[in-house]
Structure 1
Amino acid sequence: MEVIDVIRSVNNVLWGYVLIFLLCGTGVYFTFRLNFVQIRKFGVVCKNAFGGITLFGEKAGKEGMSSFQSLATAIAAQVGTGNLAGAATAIASGGPGAIFWMWISAFFGMSTIFSEAVLAQTYKEKDIDGQIVGGPAYYISRGFGSKGLAVFFAIAIIIALGFIGNMVQSNSISDAFQTAFNLPALYVGIALAILAGLIFFGGISRIASFTEKAVPIMALMYLIGGVVVLAMNVDAILPAIKMIFYGAFNPKAATGGIIGVGVKEAVRYGVARGLFSNEAGMGSTPHAHAVAKVKHPAQQGLVAIMGVFIDTFIVLNITAFVILTTGVLDGKTTGIALTQAGFTQALGGFGNIFVAICLLFFAFSTIIGWYFFGEANIRYLFGIKGLTPYRILVMIFIVIGSTMKVDLVWELADTFNGLMVIPNLIAVLGLAKVVSKALDDYDNDGMLKSSK
């Protein structure tokens, strides 16, 4: 049995049973406990998220970032290959119905990510360098009271995102550029590592400056391109919607047998790729929301909800509907190649180039965001002395990832993402009272009214 077969077997148990129930169950629990906060507060979510939007905000520093810069950093991590290659992989492996399960996991995940952001704000602290830091390792140890789980999480996220996850990003970029421009994967990986290193070594101010500019531009660019394709295939939109809903419960019939999978695969790939895309419950984005300079923890919790909404219900849907309306789903093509096929079907040769450029923006911004999340945990485990070795190692993994076989990289990413979810959600569930109290305080002290 090959290594990838062993990893795939582990993932089948992890994602086929354990995490589907844990992730969705946590989301359902907080959705009811917080009285559907993602619906009843959505107007305030929009106001808080976009009230301070700017491409040239105040310079971030040791005291943290603005609320919008924190959201941009979180979205930079959320909107990556999961929206282009990951969504395509979910459809190819689980059928169109996988998108339905992505929607479901994202809807409930909004309440989970609200809770994560509230806890990250509640338990943030200053490190020995005077830098504001926070995230699951901090609320697991300080709030939940488990140093062991905190250390396990910190190690898991450094491996999952800083190393393995960023291999996925560079792998997808190099693959796309090889297809679109016939550039050698190794050369693309080296260029990415150098560009990323320039931002890594610039610290929090350079990271915030990059994400606040890159995220709005890249999202708007992809949205425009996707709308153009959908406008060209407007008659296929309703059939595509039917394929998604029908495929959620009868995958084989939805595609006429092209995708020979069952409901279990649709759910498994939908939830797995959904998590990889929006990161709700994973414990990653709380690191960005922890450093936001806000007056109340729940204020940033509401902002965090917008990250999931943009990632799944806007950007990911563009990819899904481009693939389904252009008729390129053939049961053989997968990953970024399937997404490129959809845009190429509508835009001709420019489609490959468009996807490659978008993927460069999406995946590179995710590399920056995931580096930042890993850095917070390096600080937790080793202090500032661990930063330089970590930065160099991430750059090396970016190069290695650009040349690896994509199937193995994705399976490894699923494994380590799953491992970091477990300690995070144990603590989030254990601290549910803290989250509920924060939302009640936010409502009762008038801050909700002042945000309207």
Structure 2
Amino acid sequence: MEGLYNFLVDLDGLLGGAFWFPYVLLGVGLFFTIYLKFPQIRYFKHACKVITGKFDKDNDPGDTTHFRALTTALSGTVGTGNISGVAFAIFLGGPAALFWMWATAFLGMTTKFVEVTLSHKYRVKTEDGTMAGGPMYYMDRRLNMKWLAVAFAIATVISSFGTGNLPQSNGIATSIEATFGIEAIYVGAGLGVLLALVILGGIQRIAAVTARIVPIMAVIYLIGAFAVIFANVENIGPAFMSVIGDAFTGSAAAGGFLGATLAYAFNRGVNRGLFSNEAGQGSAPIAHAAAKTKEPVSEGMVSILEPFIDTIIICTITGLVILSSGVWNEKHENVFDRSDMLFVSGQYTEADVESVNQLYLYLNDVEGSTVEAYNGQISVVNGVAVSGGYTLINSRSIAEDVVYKVNNEDLFSGMLEIKDGRPVRENLQVSGKSLVHSAPLTAIAFTRGFFGDYGQYIVSVGLLLFAFSTAIAWSYYGDRAMTYLLGPRSVMPYRVIYVAGFVWASFSDTTLVWALSAVAIVVMTLPNLFGIVMLRKEMKETVDDYWQRNADK
């Protein structure tokens, strides 16, 4: 697993983690924002009218209403990215990462408008009578790039696992296990059965279920979040100031947090912002293609609301909970994931300025660091290390009160072999105090409000609803891609594998799953961004034509 994780990290470094990817993503959004004269602002009011059903016509082609298409697409975006992803971004880049999530969302509102409009325009009716759409259809039918359409569809199938399936299942299971003590494999198996029952019903059942889940989950989550925000209201101002103030400087070391450069915070914030709202990824157009309307532009306008609701509202609230509660830079008792741990040579302490500076350079991939991975043996007696010459870094922080166990229960005694900073022994469990990330960090933050320890249950329930609805929506994206590639008969085998993957991911390594999702997002996004830029003139003409015919709306 460590080898696979390292491969995925290296691949992400060439793709989503590369310096150029955020600029490409934001650059396309900025281009269309200017080219179409800020549609995310000018068309926002009209988009709200469309989802109320004011312009709906029963005889229009499609499978579902504007509102249900929106909730299906929202259920695909409002998931672990809003709970785990925000926490992960702040964990990596500090408060500054939240600012870049905002920037991604604002420009992403335009990107999503463009991709949904073009995809809806070139949707088709399949053999089974349902509508199918998405970027692969405009790539094929308009750009005449069958190869690009096939590549995108394959990437969509991969992303249905990397974005909508594996990280969602893992986020649910780890949160439920941490809160209620139910083993992850049982959580995954139980939800896997429910997932199968829903997705076998196709888009009609999927849309009906998500239309009910999305509003309920939003209310539950917001109640818990505001209970924390109001309990820490005096910290809201400083939290906003740290987000804005650090945006163009990076975040300095604070508490257990060892700091993040501007480049690192920018990259991780944009990356997590994309994971959260999926603007530019090309996933939402697949859901919107099912909407009953003859007007692709009106459905595109509906999609403008997605990044606003998903990132600018929900992710901001999560970010304020984490920052105002102060948990983001505190060390908490936890069991260390192997991929989060690294033994480095020498003894470092947060009380020493030079130690912090060297670790800051090392963790942010900045030249000049003298930190090196540790190779050698560590003497351990009754679970406690008695030899020195090393420092254990876990979750980008110096670990404290470390305990070593084997088989998850017996205290380890003996010589522990460390090679290239990693323990060689396989059945080793390491625990102690360090920074935490993803869903566990958000769960801890929710205990700092009026509900006290009960707040963590809100995160668990919210995560369950958020992530489960995302898995439902992404199963639809994947089966539409399979329909394009191999026809309707390929859908059932895909769904079986999808459910099996959902169960498997519930008990797999958290960091490995996040690494897979990071790669999957990018291999789907790049072809879509290329395609919409190629059709920029047609997009402008389509919008102008819509307003010429609907000037009074």
TM range (shorter): over 0.9
Deviations 1:57-83 (A, max 9, x none): 999999411111100000000100000
d(CA) in 1 for partners of 2:518 and 2:45? Answer: 34
Cα distance change on mapping 1:289 and 1:104 into 2, 3 Å = same
Task: Return the offset for 1:6.
Answer: 2.5
1:80/1:359 contact within 8 Å kept: yes
Partner AA of 2:19 in structure 1:
Y
Structure 1 residues 154 and 163, CA gap change in structure 2 (3 angstroms): same
* 1:419 counterpart letter in structure 2: V
Write the deviation string for residues 1-44 of structure 1: whole angstroms up to 9, x where unpaired. Answer: 83322321221231232321211111001001110000122211
Q: In structure 2, what is the equivalent of residue 300 of structure 1?
A: 299
- Cα distance in 1 for partners of 2:189, 2:52 equals 36
Match of 1:336 among 433, 439, 448: 439
Deviation at residue 251 of structure 1 after TM alignment: 2.6
Which stretches in structure 2 are left out of the alignment for 5+ residues? Answer: 330-396, 398-434
Q: Which moved more, 1:227-236 or 1:174-183?
A: 227-236
Determine the C-alpha separation between the residues in 2 that align with 1:51 and 1:130: 24
Once the two structures are superposed, the pairs formed by residues 107-256 of structure 1 within 5 Å of their partners are 107-162=106-161, 165-253=164-252, 255=254
User: Distance between the aligned counterparts of 1:274 and 1:60, measured in 2?
Assistant: 37
Name 2:64's counterpart in structure 1: 65
**Hey, what's the Cα distance between the residues in 1 that align with 2:183 and 2:256?**
36
Paired residue type of 1:30 = F
Distance in 1 between residues matched to 2:328 and 2:441, nearest whole Å? 7
Q: Percent identity?
A: 41
Question: Structure 2 counterpart of 1:6, which letter?
Answer: F
* Most deviating of 34-43 and 74-83: 34-43
- CA distance change for structure 1 residues 343 and 52 in 2, over 3 Å: closer, same or farther? farther
**Corresponding residue of 2:39:** 37
TM-fit CA distance, 1:449 = 2.6
Deviating more after overlay: 365-374 vs 10-19? 10-19
- Is this contact kept in 1: 2:321–2:446, CA < 8 A? yes
Partner of 1:383: 487
Larger Rg: 2
Cα distance 1:182–1:72, how it changes in 2: closer, same or farther (>3 A)?
A: same
Distance 1:91 1:12 in 2: 19
Moved more, 3-12 or 174-183: 3-12
Report the TM-score when normalising by structure 2. Answer: 0.78
Deviates more, 1:98-107 or 1:154-163: 154-163
1:432 aligns with 2:536: yes
For residues 89 and 364 of structure 1, the distance between their equivalents in structure 2, rounded to whole angstroms, comes to 19
Q: Is 1:95–1:259's contact at 8 Å kept on the other side of the alignment?
A: no
Distance 1:327 1:92 in 2: 12
Distance 2:173 2:443 in 1: 14
Deviations 1:271-309 (A, max 9, x none): 111000000000100001111112311101110000110
Say which is worse superposed, 40-49 or 381-390, in terms of deviation.
40-49
SS of residue matched to 1:349: helix
Matches within 5 A, 1:303-318: 303-318=302-317
Amino acid aligned to 1:90: A
Instruction: Show the counterpart of 2:12.
Output: 11
Matched residue, 1:367: 471
Aligned to 1:322: 321
Greater mean deviation of Cα atoms: 122-131 or 73-82: 122-131
Contact 1:164 1:397 in 2 (8 A): no
> Which residue identity does 2:528 align to in structure 1?
N
Residue correspondences, number: 446
Indicate conservation of the 8 Å contact 2:179/2:456, yes or no.
Answer: yes
Alignment of 1:35-114 (within 5 A): 35-51=37-53, 63-114=62-113
- Distance in 2, Cα, partners of 1:375 & 1:60: 26
Change (3 A) 1:295 1:370: same
Query: How far apart, CA to CA, are the structure 2 residues paired with 1:61 and 1:379?
Result: 23
Q: Tell me the amino acid that sits aligned with residue 44 of structure 1.
A: H
CA gap of 1:210–1:339, structure 2 versus 1, over 3 A, is same
Q: State the Cα deviation string for residues 319-352 of structure 1 (Å, max 9, x = none).
A: 1000000110125111101100100122322111
How many angstroms apart in 2 are the aligned matches of 1:52 and 1:449? 13
SS of aligned partner of 2:552 = helix
Range 114-123 or range 217-226, more displaced: 217-226
Deviates further, 309-318 or 432-441: 432-441
Counterpart-to-counterpart distance in 1, 2:279 and 2:505: 24
- Which is richer in helix? 1
Q: Which secondary structure does the structure 2 equivalent of 1:421 belong to?
A: helix
Supply the distance in 1 between the matched residues of 2:71 and 2:64 (Cα, whole angstroms).
10
Partner of 2:251, secondary structure, is helix
Structure with greater strand percent: 2
AA of the residue aligned to 1:9: D
Provide the rounded CA distance (Å) in 1 between the counterparts of 2:323 and 2:552.
42
Q: What one-letter code is carried by the residue in structure 1 that aligns with 2:7? A: V
| Contact 1:294/1:300 (<8 A) preserved | yes
1:220-267 per-position Cα deviation (integer Å, ceiling 9, x unaligned):
221222122211111111100011112222233374782421011101
Counterpart amino acid of residue 466 in structure 2: F
Distance of 2:240 and 2:57 partners within structure 1: 42
Once residues 246 and 263 of structure 2 are traced to their aligned partners in structure 1, the CA distance between those partners, rounded to angstroms, is: 11
Q: RCO higher in 1 or 2 (8 Å CA, sep ≥ 6)?
A: 1
Matched-pair contact (CA < 8 Å) for 1:62–1:131 = no
Deviates more, 1:257-266 or 1:346-355: 257-266
Using a 3 Å threshold, how does the CA distance of structure 1 residues 111 and 194 change in structure 2: closer, same or farther?
same
Instruction: Give the 3 Å change call, closer, same or farther, for CA 163–238 of structure 1 in structure 2.
Output: closer
Between the aligned partners of 1:449 and 1:58, the Cα distance in structure 2 is 18
Q: Does 1:357 find its partner at 2:461?
A: yes
Q: Is the 8 A contact 1:284 1:373 kept in 2?
A: yes
TM-score normalised by structure 1 residue count? 0.95
Aligned CA distance change for structure 1 residues 117 and 156 (closer, same or farther; 3 Å): same
Task: Verify the 8 A CA contact 1:97 1:248 in the aligned structure 2.
Answer: yes
